[in-house]
């Protein structure tokens, strides 16, 4: 076993969804953990809970170097995951930030880096089923996917220089604390304005947040044979997304989506919105993007056999139980 709780651990992105869940788990298990992030309110909450915090912007090399001490293990969870924004903003957060973390790990002789990447690298605007880690990658369809691909290259450079690193690509994360997928979906469902995109029969992989945390912990203690590798992570139980949407609507008293828009028509509308909003400097996120259409209208699943066989990963919380936990949290906080 690589890790023991006396070793010093840093979590980047600790005020985000993944990093926050990981930080709380590590602290509850008695690990010597430091939380790095930028959100002052959330950092204060972590500090009030007895967790050591570091305020730093990972895109700034000096701040990263100043925040590193004698860490043995680093979980790099920080990223900008939005479906919309300026390329330079994504580049600074995802590429420069990762470069700074990797270089700091090398300079400070960190024993292992665990990196959170994304399966967005795999997807174009078509359905893809059972995607494996070594399948050919298409041209990135978003600034997020593009910069996360470049970030993986930064991690690979670190690996080539002797940094022990393991990466995961978790698919469509959800659960308590989610600020990206389900909240966006619920805001549209509540108004009754969300149509069914596609035929309503598409299958998707989801990943409950605590299963992702389990995967990260496994990466911290995985054998040397896993170093330098990337692993797909999901719940391993594809679901019909629109059937799940209807169950959520029933639970929250929202109307079921009833209107249907074909995948091709929705794709065209999303592209038109993107074009129009790109003409507006610092525009907000469009009401529909081609990336969101792809998520809601296409079938997208991952092959997670490598994670099972090489990391010992087994999803413990089902999609159904995870959704119930999310809804309980959502009702309490909204």
pLDDT 10s digits, 97-130? 999 999 999 999 999 999 999 999 999 899 999 9
Tell me how many domains the chain contains: 1
Residue 127 lies in a domain: yes
Residue 1 lies in a domain: no
Active site residue 115: no
CB contact at 8 A, 155 and 102:
yes
Active site residue: 91, 115, 122, 144, which one? 144
> What is the residue range of 86's domain?
8-171+209-233+302-316
Residue 293 lies in a domain: no
Q: What is the CATH number of the domain that holds 108?
A: 3.40.50.720
Residue 266 lies in a domain: no
Q: Would you give per-residue pLDDT tens digits along the chain (334 residues)? A: 455 667 899 999 999 999 999 999 999 999 999 999 999 999 999 999 999 999 999 999 999 999 998 899 999 999 998 888 899 999 999 999 999 999 999 999 999 999 999 999 999 899 999 999 999 999 999 999 999 999 999 999 999 999 999 999 999 999 999 988 898 899 889 888 889 999 999 999 999 999 999 999 999 999 999 999 999 999 999 999 999 999 999 999 999 998 999 999 999 999 999 999 988 887 888 888 998 899 899 999 999 999 999 999 999 999 999 999 999 999 999 8
Residue 311 lies in a domain: yes
Residue 214 lies in a domain: yes
* Distant-in-sequence, close-in-space partners of 298: CB < 8 Å, separation ≥ 6: 123, 125, 126, 127, 128, 198, 202, 263
pLDDT 10s digits, 17-43? 999 999 999 999 999 999 999 999 999
């Amino acid at each position: 076993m690589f890790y023991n709780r006396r070793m010093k651990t840093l979590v980047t992105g600790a005020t985000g969804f993944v990093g926050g869940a990981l930080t709380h788990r590590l602290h509850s298990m008695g690990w010597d953990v430091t939380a790095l992030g930028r959100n002052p309110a959330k950092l204060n909450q972590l500090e009030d809970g007895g967790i050591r915090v570091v305020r730093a912007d990972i895109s700034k090399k000096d701040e990263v170097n100043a925040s590193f001490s004698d860490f043995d293990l680093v979980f790099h969870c920080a990223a900008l995951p939005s479906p919309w924004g300026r390329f330079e903003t994504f580049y600074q957060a995802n590429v420069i930030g990762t470069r700074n973390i990797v270089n700091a790990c090398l300079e400070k002789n960190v024993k292992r880096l665990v990196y959170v990447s994304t399966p967005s690298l795999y997807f174009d605007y078509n359905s893809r089923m059972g995607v494996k880690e070594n399948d050919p990658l298409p041209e990135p369809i978003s600034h997020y996917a593009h910069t996360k691909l470049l970030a993986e290259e930064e991690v690979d450079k670190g690996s080539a220089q002797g940094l022990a690193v393991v990466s995961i690509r978790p698919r469509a994360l959800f659960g308590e604390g989610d600020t990206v997928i389900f909240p966006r979906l619920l805001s549209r469902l509540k108004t009754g304005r969300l149509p069914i995109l596609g035929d309503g029969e598409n299958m998707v992989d989801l990943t409950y947040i605590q299963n992702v945390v389990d995967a990260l912990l496994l990466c911290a203690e995985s054998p040397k044979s896993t170093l330098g590798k990337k692993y797909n992570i999901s719940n391993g139980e594809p679901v019909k997304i629109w059937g799940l949407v209807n169950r959520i609507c029933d639970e929250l008293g929202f109307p079921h989506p009833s209107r249907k828009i074909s995948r091709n028509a929705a794709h065209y509308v999303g592209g038109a919105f993107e074009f129009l909003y790109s003409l507006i400097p610092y525009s907000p996120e469009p009401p529909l993007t081609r990336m969101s259409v792809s998520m809601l209208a296409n079938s997208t699943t991952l092959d997670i056999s490598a994670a099972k066989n090489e990391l010992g990963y087994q999803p413990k919380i089902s999609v159904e139980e995870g959704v119930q936990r999310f809804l309980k949290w959502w009702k309490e906080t909204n």
